[in-house]
Amino acid sequence: MDHDPKERLLLPPRAAAAAAANGPHRRAAPAAGGGGGGVAIDVHGLKRRGGGRRSWVRVDAATGASEAVEVAKPALMRRLDLPARDLRLLDPLFVYPSAILGRERAVVCNLERIRCIITADEALILRDPNVAGGGAETEEAVRRYVAELQRRLVDRADDLPFEFIALEVALEAACSFLDAQAVELEADAYPLLDELTTKISTLNLERVRRLKSKLVALTRRVQKVRDEIEQLMDDDGDMAEMYLTEKKRRMEASLLEEQAFQGMGNSGFGSSFSAPVSPVSSPPASRRLEKELSFARSRHDSFKSADSSQYSIEELEMLLEAYFVVIDYTLSKLTSDNVRNQLIQFELLLTTATFVVAIFGVVSGVFGMNFEVDLFNVPHAFEWTLVITGVCGLVIFCCFIWYFKKRRFFPL
């Protein structure tokens, strides 16, 4: 019998018994018939796919064990208290820019090929190779992410909480992928530009145009990741919101204090039960329960408002700063390296040549007018006009080249 294709993505599980405590998660069942994905997608199938269950890889924070699960979108919204727009950001059916969102109980990450939801107890990594934008590359990226996250959970060399470790692995994967794309683009650009300098043809110009389009698209993607990291570093409240483990610990401590306070109150009131109490002065049980709930709610609200001031965000800020330097270096390579300079130089040279050639168009337009000029009666007047125009254009072009070299636009 064939194994579940989702299991090929995972490392050997350490604790299979942990899958029973997943709440709304459910282990994925193997598809009947071997599961082949069709090329054509109708509108009804698309709607069912977008609103149904999706395939995730769950990594447990305590043990590092991974498992393939299928979770519905409403279940995730209820379990993690996430709005629908955050889960829509991870939808592989659509192309959304990179984003890192800190929420009350989770961190939502969309970084290139890694789309995940990180909590204090687990990490859910989306994998859906059957839709557009998936495939073998996305499968391999998810597998490497899971393997690296498990390795770091086993070999913990610092006291970073789980959400920061998972976020760091996602940032490292995105920065490495974008830097590799920049290196590959640079390797393709140098031979093409060298060939263009020796022979200017329509094919070479079209290849240069496609190369420049790739360069602009990659620059925008790198810029978006850089802006997301910079925005997080500039907002202390967003960084404090991402301390999920600390918030969970403080919330549990607050609940224990409330339970202890309620226990002390019950024991104190229990000693006076033997005394006669007027039925008018004693509040009913529903009133007492309502007061206790309102007291607990007010303590929880005050706890949430003090989160940003109590957390020390230096740990997360240092982590983000390290990857900000990496992605900023990749962006500087794309915006100011020799490849871009050569493209700009060639575009400037081509614009100058177009300006010189346009002079001939002006001359042709003048001679095409429907009015009589004495110059038309002079023999060989048109030939001399073309020669003079060509010489003037060549002089103008040489003057432009001299000016560009003087201002160091072109290498001497």
Count how many domains the chain has: 2
- How far from 383 is each of 287, 359, 390, 391, CA to CA, in Å? 106, 15, 11, 12
- Mean pLDDT for the stretch of residues 83-104: 87
Q: For position 210, which CATH number holds?
A: 2.40.128.330
Residue 112 lies in a domain: yes
pLDDT digits (tens, 9 = 90+) for 55-87: 899 999 988 899 999 988 888 888 888 998 888
Q: Which of 231, 230, 232, 222 is nearest to 174 (CA)?
A: 222
pLDDT bin (cut points 50, 70, 90) of residue 21 is: very low
Q: Residue holding tokens 């009015």?
A: 371
Q: Which of 211, 240, 269 is the last residue of a domain?
A: 240
Same domain, 235 and 369: no
Report the first-to-last Cα separation within the chain, whole angstroms: 70
Q: Is the pLDDT of residue 217 over 80?
A: yes
DSSP β-bridge partners for residue 116? 109, 125
Residue 399 lies in a domain: yes
Q: Is the pLDDT of residue 107 over 50?
A: yes
Residue 375 lies in a domain: yes
Phi and psi for 124 in degrees, rounded to 5?
A: -110, 115
Dihedral sign for Cα 38, 42, 44, 46, please.
positive
User: Is-contact 218 178, C-beta < 8 A?
Assistant: yes
Range of 40-49, 131-140, 245-254, 322-331 with top mean pLDDT: 322-331
Residue 331 lies in a domain: no
**pTM score over 0.75:** no
Residue 327 lies in a domain: no
Residue 135 lies in a domain: yes
pLDDT digits (tens, 9 = 90+) for 352-406: 888 888 887 787 777 777 667 677 777 777 778 788 888 888 898 888 888 877 7
Same domain, 116 and 225: yes
Q: How far apart are CA 308 and CA 104, in angstroms?
A: 12
Q: How far apart are CA 233 and CA 264, in angstroms?
A: 44
Dihedral sign for Cα 170, 176, 179, 183, please.
negative
pLDDT bin (cut points 50, 70, 90) of residue 412 is: very low
Q: Which of 184, 216, 240 is the last residue of a domain?
A: 240
- Mean pLDDT for the stretch of residues 277-301: 47
Same domain, 235 and 367: no
Residue 341 lies in a domain: yes
Dihedral sign for Cα 368, 371, 374, 378, please.
positive
Structure letter (DSSP) for residue 198: H
Q: Which of 253, 248, 228 is nearest to 238 (CA)?
A: 228
- Mean pLDDT for the stretch of residues 200-221: 87
Q: How far apart are CA 345 and CA 404, in angstroms?
A: 10
pLDDT digits (tens, 9 = 90+) for 153-177: 988 777 889 999 999 999 999 999 9
User: Is-contact 100 232, C-beta < 8 A?
Assistant: yes
Contact partners, residue 134, CB within 8 Å, separation at least 6 = 92, 127, 128
Q: Which of 162, 145, 71, 80 is nearest to 111 (CA)?
A: 145
User: Is-contact 320 229, C-beta < 8 A?
Assistant: yes
Q: How far apart are CA 338 and CA 410, in angstroms?
A: 12
The domain in which residue 402 lies consists of 337-407
Q: How far apart are CA 35 and CA 138, in angstroms?
A: 18
Q: Which of 219, 240, 261 is the last residue of a domain?
A: 240
Residue 124 lies in a domain: yes
